[in-house]
Amino acid sequence: MHERIEAAGGDVSAVTVVAVTKGCGPEAVRAALDIGVVDVGESYAQELLAKAAALGSVLTVPRWHFVGRLQSNKVRLLSGAVDVWQSVDRHRLGGELARRAPGARVLVQVRVGDDAAKGGCEPEEAPRLVAALVDAGLDVVGLMAVGPAGPPEAARAGFTRIAALADRLGLPERSMGMSADLEVAVAEGATIVRVGSALFGTRPRPGGAKLGD
């Protein structure tokens, strides 16, 4: 992963790799910890909680990032485990997070492609949402975006826009780039990349194991 980040002109000490283990068992998390990765991402609440429970006896536990579509009724369940909430995209989630995880570290997910199913607030709404989350006492550290499907180049314009928006809002972190488009994301200023299949191989089931949600 470091080779790919460097080849894209990125500084490996300035880009955090979040290993996305959705669809893999707890052994993938253990393998990531073994090679020194401390940030681990999950997209589904039940899957994250099951792995966190399975790893309860491991001395070093990962810093868990929640990167999937977040339902407000899952916030309470997840609040004991999640360290970074990357997919906050609406006011209602902010209220629930402020109640269940006061001061939590969050990123605001902003939509960059045409696919609304991937989540994210509209770019025009991001400043207001960021301000509301800060008002609610949350630690808003950056913006997150999921690039559109298709060739990696298709993601560039959106990533440029996210980086500019983060600059304008004074937010240091930009979580953008996955296995297929991480070079483009790094070139456009990503500080966090979320990498699944490039580390763990193709997931057995698209979207990961559906363990109850």
Ligand X SMILES: *Cc1c(COP(=O)(O)O)cnc(C)c1O
Closest alpha carbon to 11 in 191, 143, 181: 191
Q: Does 67 bind ligand X (CB under 6 A)?
A: yes
Q: Does 43 bind ligand X (CB under 6 A)?
A: yes
Q: Does 194 bind ligand X (CB under 6 A)?
A: yes
Q: Does 94 bind ligand X (CB under 6 A)?
A: no
Residue 197 Cβ vs ligand X, minimum distance, rounded to whole Å:
4
Binding mask 5-34 for ligand X (x = CB under 6 A): ---------------x-x------------
Q: Which stretch, 2-10, 77-85, 159-167, 191-199, contacts ligand X (CB under 6 A)? A: 191-199
Give 85's contacts (C-beta < 8 A, 6+ positions apart): 65, 66, 70, 97, 101, 104, 105, 106, 107
Q: Does 179 bind ligand X (CB under 6 A)?
A: yes
Nearer to ligand X, 73 or 197 (CB): 197
Q: Which stretch, 31-39, 121-129, 134-142, 192-200, contacts ligand X (CB under 6 A)? A: 192-200
Residue 67 Cβ vs ligand X, minimum distance, rounded to whole Å:
4
Nearer to ligand X, 136 or 194 (CB): 194
- Contacting residues toward ligand X, per CB under 6 A: 20, 22, 43, 67-68, 146, 178-180, 194-198
